[in-house]
């Protein structure tokens, strides 16, 4: 009972405070006003840049797919080549690099399956997700959607 009473009283006190009164603004300092922060930011940037430049393509690709799993191999190669445009450490891009990985195809199929408006869309997506699904199982799943 005390707990409930406290909550009611606290809510009343909170509501009774001046709603126009806001918390004081926090002063923002420009990075130029703080040489130490500027120096640390530059150090972090340089370390990250050196880390990227030191990666092999395989390491770079692995790291990109962790943060952006739907990126195509072509997009990753293009960004790698952009980073290494001045050091000759580039990779070649082929037509097959634009193709989606099996995982990417499954993710796209899941979204298509989830948002299917027609039976054909539903069936096509489900066949990607479960290639062994029978026509009967697909119809049953469509009816239960």
Indicate the range of 9-13, 56-60, 81-85 predicted with least confidence.
Answer: 9-13
Neighbours of 85 (CB within 10 A): 10
DSSP track, 121-140: HHHHHHHHH-TT--HHHHHH
Higher pLDDT, 129 or 13: 129
DSSP track, 7-75: HHHHHHHHHHS-SS--PPPPPP--GGG-HHHHHHHHHHHHHHHHHHHH--HHHHHHHHHHH-TT--HHH
Q: What residues have CB less than 8 Å from 87, skipping those under 6 apart?
A: 53
The length of the chain in residues reads 145
Region 120-124: mean pLDDT is 91
* For residue 77, pLDDT beyond 90: yes
Q: Distance of alpha carbon 130 from its chain centroid, rounded?
A: 26
Domain chopping of the chain, boundaries: 34-93, 100-145
pLDDT tens readout for residues 78-95: 999 998 888 888 899 998
């Amino acid at each position: 009972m005390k707990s409930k009473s406290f909550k009611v009283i606290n809510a009343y006190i909170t509501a009774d405070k001046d709603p126009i009164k806001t918390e004081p603004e926090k002063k923002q300092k420009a990075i130029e006003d703080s040489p130490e922060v500027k120096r640390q930011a530059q150090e972090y940037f340089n370390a990250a840049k050196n880390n990227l430049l030191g990666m092999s393509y395989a390491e770079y690709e692995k790291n990109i797919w962790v943060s952006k799993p739907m990126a195509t191999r072509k997009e990753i190669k293009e960004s790698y080549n952009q980073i290494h445009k001045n050091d000759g450490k580039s990779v070649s891009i082929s037509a097959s690099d634009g193709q989606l990985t099996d995982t990417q195809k499954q993710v796209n199929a899941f979204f298509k399956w989830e948002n299917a408006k027609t039976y054909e869309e539903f069936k096509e997506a489900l066949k990607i997700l479960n290639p062994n699904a029978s026509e009967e199982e697909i119809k049953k799943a469509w009816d239960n959607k």
